[in-house]
Structure 1
Amino acid sequence: MRTILPLNDQWFYLPEYVEREVSAGIDASRYEPIQLPHTNVELPYNYFDDKAFQFISTYKRELNIPADAKGKRVYVDFEGVMTYAQVFLNGLKAGEHKGGYTPFSVELTELAEYGGPNVLTVIVDSTERDDIPPFGAVIDYLTYGGIYREVQLRIVEPVHLGTVFVQTPEPLAANKAVRVVVELEGISDQQDDLTVALQLLDGASVKAETGLEAVTAAEVTLELKELGGLQLWDIDDPKLYEAKLTLLRSGEELDQVTVCFGFREAEFQPDGFYLNGRKIKLLGLNRHQSYPYVGYAMPKRAQRRDADVLKEELGLNMVRTSHYPQSRHFLDRCDEIGLLVFEEIPGWQHIGGEAWKEQAVRDVEDMIIRDRNHPSIVIWGVRINESQDDHDLYTRTNELARKLDPTRATGGVRYIVGSELLEDVYTINDFVHDGGHKKYLAKEIRNFDTYDDTEGVDGETTGLRQPSLVTKLDHPVPYLVTEYNGHMYPTKRFDQEERVMEHALRHTRVQNASYADEGIAGAIGWCAFDYNTHADFGSGDKICYHGVMDMFRLPKFAASVYRSQKNVEQEIVMEPVTYWSRGERNIGGIVPLVVFTNCDEVEFIYGHERKGVYRPNREKYPALPHPPVVIDELTGHWGMKWEDAVFIGYVDGQEVTRKYYSRNPVPTELRVAADDMVLEVGDWDVTRVVVDALDEYGNVLPFYADPVSVEVEGVGELIGPSSLSLIGGRIAFWIRTKGEAGQIRVKVSAPSRFGPQELSIHVQ
């Protein structure tokens, strides 16, 4: 049977490349001990040289391969290394890999010393090489270096199970079927008496199983038919099953693999998207996989939590993995919670030469083979984001995708009006909405000369263009908006009130337009989280403030646009877009006062005066499931006494939530809360800690910027600096484990205003 050994601890790191180090041992006096995932350099939150991580580094680890592995095959599996990796064992080259976002395996069988120590060396080139996508021109995100995903040692028999593809033909039938195609590695003409068995598992129970299928070729297809009593995978009830494959020789087990999958039908039609025959409007955001300080190098818990933030906190039903394949842990969690995924290959506008194109085609293959069993993934992005048409290249990528996975649609994200459609879905970045201030502002900002500006645009009512004006086709086709807003209106969490309100309203208008047009399957906004970027983009401090949340996953007001579309059974949402101050807006006042809510009514009390009960504004936002409430009444002119306020939300005539605002807010509480109070030993684990400066009513003080200091003791350590300034009244940081059990004690001090706050996190 196969043996899997995690190789994420006991690594040694040198932030440089010296040729003689390849064949040398590990000099602990020169190398830094590290754990994986690992970033090649820890960066500041903002204001740094965007070339700081672009260098070649050396990773080493002692590797003890058991003596009884001799005669078997030994591999080291890498989940992701940025960007070009060369792998050596005992000074001899074992393999290499180009590309930072797809997994690869290197065989060590012939080079290994069995029963004794080996030295595994990985030389990591994190420069922006022009032969590897997405590089060759400028790109609007950073590709942080290092071995930033997990590594494992895999020991298998000479003949073993390879790639597995689980298909569910006719999933909507009462009696279902499973077809599994499995490749066998190491098989030869002399192999005989090999068989493969398939079991369908639901947790610990066996739902069905095949007889033993004789192996006659390197690819075996097994089927289970007439399966009753099985559930569909759906966004509201994401039921997962497992396909367990066993390879045997003369009845003796040689290898075993288990793959999660779900029964579901996902179709893009000209009139929208259908999941299991039910039409669903896709509501989504784009996700970059980056974090403050450590870039891409975050472990399983953080990756999974991002999926929870998108689905559970923001209420989305779709995410686009912009602009590259992302962590398997993130995708696993999307499967578990029912978050649909648009996954695409690495790239950003630029198409390189022939070697570059060949690598792009390999990226399609590697992405699909790794991820085609995820029921959450409903469309493959097989075109470089926002690139020009390239008939030959995109004919190849589409043909390859359909060959590797005939069950899913292909898309190719473009900005070009009338772009050649080779994919199944016309996917477009539509930045037409500018708030009604200037016609097709996107054309001028991004220098896109292919926007069709023959049609006038009313920014107050037009959030998206009609599909037919974009496709230039004489017939409707499946159509999905994959970006909007973003660079059109970058907004910081602590920006002036009118700006944060307009930022939120732009998301509102675009989503209203998406819901209003049956020819649009949905709209995926740019973007979920702020992200670090190159000097060519962003706000000059190496951050693009395009998210509805900041880099710490702390929400801006625009996040409430999405949250408020939830059903009230999921969460009661009532978020007035206000800092509640007379003089924050130009000229003073607070109107119009926008409240994002899924309540039926909102009562507004100013001081002791009941101003009225207000309903969602369906006149202006008729298509949204839950339009915002807009209060236009004046609460008093400049110079009058400012009063406290109360907002009360009602559902079916019953009060369900209440929020108070102070006319005279003062710092009252420093709240410190961790996402997780229990972490795990072994590979390093992580949790986020959020610090809030609150007023007397429990509201965040939006312009509070005093410093806090963080002290960590016990079996954990702080990621990033220990002295932090609150940003807009809030800040967050991550605490990581060291692989040991015990307690992590976290102390946050703000001596100027508050007493120290302490947390104890258990590692078990």
Structure 2
Amino acid sequence: MRPLLNALTALVLLVGPFASHNLRAQSAQLQNAPGRRILNLNGSWNYIIDPYENGFYDYRREAFDQSKSGKGGYYDNQKPSSKQETELIEYDFDKSAALQVPGDWNSQDPKLLYYEGTIWYKKSFSLTPKPGKRYFLYFGAINYESHIYLNGKKLGMRKGGFTPIQYDITDRLSSTGDNFVIVKADNTRHADEVPTINTDWWNYGGITRDVFIAETPATYITDYKVQLAKNDPNTLAGYVQLSGEGKAGQTVTLNIAEAGIKKSLKTDAEGRATFAVPAKKLTRWSPQNPKLYPVSLTSGSDAVQDRIGFRTIQTKGTDILLNGKSTFLRGISIHDENPLIPGRARGEGDLRMLLTWAKELGCNYVRLAHYPHNEAMLKLADEMGLLVWAEVPVYWTIAWENPATYQNAETQLTDLISMGKNRASIVVWSVGNETPPSDPRLKFMTSLVKKARSLDDTRLISAALELHRDGSKITVDDPLGAELDLTSFNEYAGWYWGGKPSEITQYTFDIKYNKPVIISEFGGDALGGYHADADTRWSEEYQEALYQNQFKMLSGIAGLRGLTPWILTDFRATRRQHPVYQNGFNRKGLISNTGQKKKAFYTVQEYYRQMAQKYDGK
């Protein structure tokens, strides 16, 4: 049965949901969708827990929405009629409990803490469609498999827990203005999905990011890219894409008033207009000066506003050049989770807190692991002057030889690049983390690298590789490294191997590539507030000594150009079960789950102060 499902999944991912019952493919993603005129659907949503999926399948395990009538599922939102005695309706959304959206279900109800399965969400809203307008239902993220229905009709199915989902609902809105949207969210893990069944973070379920309806004119700006051209830092290049009726032969105006740039463009038969204009006077974006320009795109009755920074990133030998100047990436890894309040980060306040801590640590760089983070996080990084490594959840042991698994990974990578391509902060697209070498894996990962380069040739491509040890010699010789712009790898000397922190300085590195080296993970656990000597695991002193000796060990790498230690804050992880030291948390954070800075925080802060002095002169 599973091979057939995999084949169907590949078809869905390639061409959109299968066509029965008037299902529709996702609309082309609106660039900067939150910046549109929107109707916010965040807030209280009624929900029904459905571990047996009674609201989706009949008693013979046949899907209601694939039946001849397309009726019978919870998505009908059925209500008793006056002939109540003859009707059997075994659910009622309006009398059911509520969850807050955005938000995971695990942290909102104790009985859902470890729940993996289906939950149905329902939200009623008022919206009367206006003539000459189009409407798009937008979900920032739903984990993991979602089936979405509007007014009892299925819009489509989507897999992937971290990238936006969007449908054109213009012709599905009620003329009376009374509407309801129902979502079947299923966070069940499967070995052939992305990520796979085994991860080291909490499998939060539900509608975890913003939900809204965006309004546009009938002919509208779908997409755009406004960035400096590759290998030509004095030219601003990109495109604008129109969709809808009459998209060909339209005038589009690009206006960056502060920089004195104004350009009128004509769309081709496909609604696309490309441009290349001089950009010598543009102030370059950098962590020291995160300059953002108001950018306006207009066409007919449509207008889109954005704030965009302009910078170059490239490598030369073992150097990383930001705006032509060698830089050291003083980084930290971050999960999309607020350690102080259980659950996924819920909005800008949570995200700003995390990035403010990173700035206090002395960072100019963050690794947003191990999946696409909230679009708001990328905009905050632009604003606050933090370079970004952005990643897809190709994590550990993916089903390398399954075509549907690859297509899923490529779709998530495509969506991530589409969402982030105008963010100056993003300098690295990462195609995966700690994937064990094999021929099928190399083919899979190399294909992702090629896809990323085809979508965006202005940023660096990397992955967090594994290493190999032989005595005191550490070798980095993964064949995937030849395809990447950076030699990035994870190492846990002093924690998972290598003896005590005081013993790890014996290790030397043999790195086979003449490329900048980024240590994408290292570190060890410490329970905040637990103190002992430097040889006692779980103590703050052990973690502090580990970092001190890591910096000594890593100083022997001539091409070292950046670090993202693991990790900024303690985070929840089902795998971490020690009842005293872990209790459901990975304790590698430099900040505890109560917001306490551990001793190692100040060790990293001092090292980064020295690196800033060396590279930035401050």
TM-score, with length taken from structure 1: 0.64
Give the residue type in structure 2 aligned to 1:145. Answer: G
Query: Following TM superposition, by how much is the alpha carbon of 1:227 offset from its aligned partner in structure 2, in angstroms?
Result: 4.6
Give the residue type in structure 2 aligned to 1:100. Answer: G
Aligned to 1:299: 347
Give the residue type in structure 2 aligned to 1:507. Answer: Y
Aligned to 1:185: 243
Q: Does 1:308 align with 2:356?
A: yes
The answer to whether the 8 Å contact 2:576/2:585 transfers is no
The answer to whether the 8 Å contact 1:140/1:348 transfers is no
Aligned to 1:459: 503
Distance in 1 (CA, whole Å) between partners of 2:403 and 2:150 is: 31
Aligned to 2:561: 521
Provide Cα deviations, 1:606-652, integer angstroms capped at 9, x if missing partner.
xxxxxxxxxxxxxxxxx8969xxxxxxxxxxxxxxxxxxxxxxxxxx
Distance in 2 (CA, whole Å) between partners of 1:418 and 1:102 is: 32
Aligned to 1:284: 331
Q: Secondary structure at the match of 2:238?
A: strand
Q: Secondary structure at the match of 2:349?
A: helix
Correspondent of 2:426 among 359, 377, 383: 377
Correspondent of 1:361 among 392, 410, 415: 410
The answer to whether the 8 Å contact 1:181/1:219 transfers is yes
Q: Secondary structure at the match of 1:210?
A: strand
* Correspondence 1:67-216 to 2 at 5 A: 67-68=129-130, 70-136=131-197, 138-169=198-229, 176-186=234-244, 192-202=248-258, 207-216=260-269
Query: Following TM superposition, by how much is the alpha carbon of 1:306 offset from its aligned partner in structure 2, in angstroms?
Result: 0.8
Distance in 1 (CA, whole Å) between partners of 2:612 and 2:39 is: 50
Q: Does 1:269 align with 2:316?
A: yes
Query: Following TM superposition, by how much is the alpha carbon of 1:302 offset from its aligned partner in structure 2, in angstroms?
Result: 0.8
Distance in 1 (CA, whole Å) between partners of 2:107 and 2:163 is: 23
Provide Cα deviations, 1:535-574, integer angstroms capped at 9, x if missing partner.
366656211111111123321111111233465xxxxxxx
The answer to whether the 8 Å contact 1:349/1:388 transfers is no
Provide Cα deviations, 1:679-699, integer angstroms capped at 9, x if missing partner.
xxxxxxxxxxxxxxxxxxxxx
Which is worse superposed, 499-508 or 362-371?
499-508
Provide Cα deviations, 1:459-507, integer angstroms capped at 9, x if missing partner.
3535x743xx143x5xx22321101123xxx211122232322311221
Q: Does 1:23 align with 2:76?
A: yes
Query: Following TM superposition, by how much is the alpha carbon of 1:316 offset from its aligned partner in structure 2, in angstroms?
Result: 1.2
Q: Does 1:530 align with 2:555?
A: no
Aligned to 2:518: 480
TM-score, with length taken from structure 2: 0.79
Query: Following TM superposition, by how much is the alpha carbon of 1:195 offset from its aligned partner in structure 2, in angstroms?
Result: 1.2
Give the residue type in structure 2 aligned to 1:5. Answer: L
Q: Secondary structure at the match of 1:66?
A: coil
Distance in 1 (CA, whole Å) between partners of 2:407 and 2:107 is: 32
Give the residue type in structure 2 aligned to 1:52. Answer: Y
* Correspondence 1:445-456 to 2 at 5 A: none
Correspondent of 2:453 among 387, 392, 402: 402
RMSD: 2.9
Aligned to 1:556: 598
Q: Secondary structure at the match of 1:509?
A: helix
Provide Cα deviations, 1:386-429, integer angstroms capped at 9, x if missing partner.
44342221221111111111001100111134211222212111
**Are residues 624 and 224 of structure 1, via their aligned partners in 2, closer, same or farther at CA, if it must alter by over 3 Å?**
closer
**Are residues 43 and 554 of structure 1, via their aligned partners in 2, closer, same or farther at CA, if it must alter by over 3 Å?**
farther
Which is worse superposed, 270-279 or 324-333?
270-279
Aligned to 1:428: 489
The answer to whether the 8 Å contact 1:511/1:523 transfers is no
Provide Cα deviations, 1:657-709, integer angstroms capped at 9, x if missing partner.
xxxxxxxxxxxxxxxxxxxxxxxxxxxxxxxxxxxxxxxxxxxxxxxxxxxxx
Q: Compare relative contact order (CA 8 Å, sep 6+) and give the higher one, 1 or 2.
A: 2
Distance in 2 (CA, whole Å) between partners of 1:286 and 1:549 is: 12
The answer to whether the 8 Å contact 1:64/1:117 transfers is yes
Provide Cα deviations, 1:313-364, integer angstroms capped at 9, x if missing partner.
2111211111111112222111111111111101320112332221111111
Distance in 1 (CA, whole Å) between partners of 2:172 and 2:489 is: 49
* Correspondence 1:53-72 to 2 at 5 A: 53-68=115-130, 70-72=131-133
Distance in 1 (CA, whole Å) between partners of 2:237 and 2:363 is: 31
Aligned to 1:244: 296
Q: How many residues align?
A: 527
Q: Which runs of 5+ in 2 are unaligned?
A: 1-34, 56-72, 80-91, 468-475, 534-538
Aligned to 2:42: 8
Distance in 1 (CA, whole Å) between partners of 2:574 and 2:279 is: 55
Give the residue type in structure 1 aligned to 2:238. Answer: V
Aligned to 2:283: 231
Provide Cα deviations, 1:104-130, integer angstroms capped at 9, x if missing partner.
102212322134201111111121133
Aligned to 2:17: none
Distance in 2 (CA, whole Å) between partners of 1:540 and 1:232 is: 44
Aligned to 2:273: 220
**Are residues 566 and 402 of structure 1, via their aligned partners in 2, closer, same or farther at CA, if it must alter by over 3 Å?**
closer
Provide Cα deviations, 1:128-172, integer angstroms capped at 9, x if missing partner.
133421123x21111211111001101223332112212213798
* Correspondence 1:558-577 to 2 at 5 A: 558-565=600-607
Q: Does 1:415 align with 2:460?
A: no
**Are residues 150 and 227 of structure 1, via their aligned partners in 2, closer, same or farther at CA, if it must alter by over 3 Å?**
same
Q: Secondary structure at the match of 1:382?
A: strand
Q: Does 1:494 align with 2:552?
A: no
Q: Secondary structure at the match of 1:211?
A: strand
**Are residues 157 and 624 of structure 1, via their aligned partners in 2, closer, same or farther at CA, if it must alter by over 3 Å?**
closer
**Are residues 556 and 536 of structure 1, via their aligned partners in 2, closer, same or farther at CA, if it must alter by over 3 Å?**
closer
Give the residue type in structure 2 aligned to 1:168. Answer: L
Distance in 2 (CA, whole Å) between partners of 1:71 and 1:25 is: 32
* Correspondence 1:719-734 to 2 at 5 A: none
Q: Secondary structure at the match of 2:142?
A: coil
Aligned to 2:7: none
Distance in 2 (CA, whole Å) between partners of 1:59 and 1:201 is: 44
The answer to whether the 8 Å contact 1:171/1:177 transfers is no
**Are residues 520 and 98 of structure 1, via their aligned partners in 2, closer, same or farther at CA, if it must alter by over 3 Å?**
same
Aligned to 1:40: 105
Query: Following TM superposition, by how much is the alpha carbon of 1:49 offset from its aligned partner in structure 2, in angstroms?
Result: 9.4
Give the residue type in structure 2 aligned to 1:428. Answer: F
Return the structure number with greater helix share. Answer: 2
Larger Rg computed on CA atoms = 1
Give the residue type in structure 1 aligned to 2:382. Answer: D
Query: Following TM superposition, by how much is the alpha carbon of 1:217 offset from its aligned partner in structure 2, in angstroms?
Result: 2.8
Give the residue type in structure 2 aligned to 1:241. Answer: Y
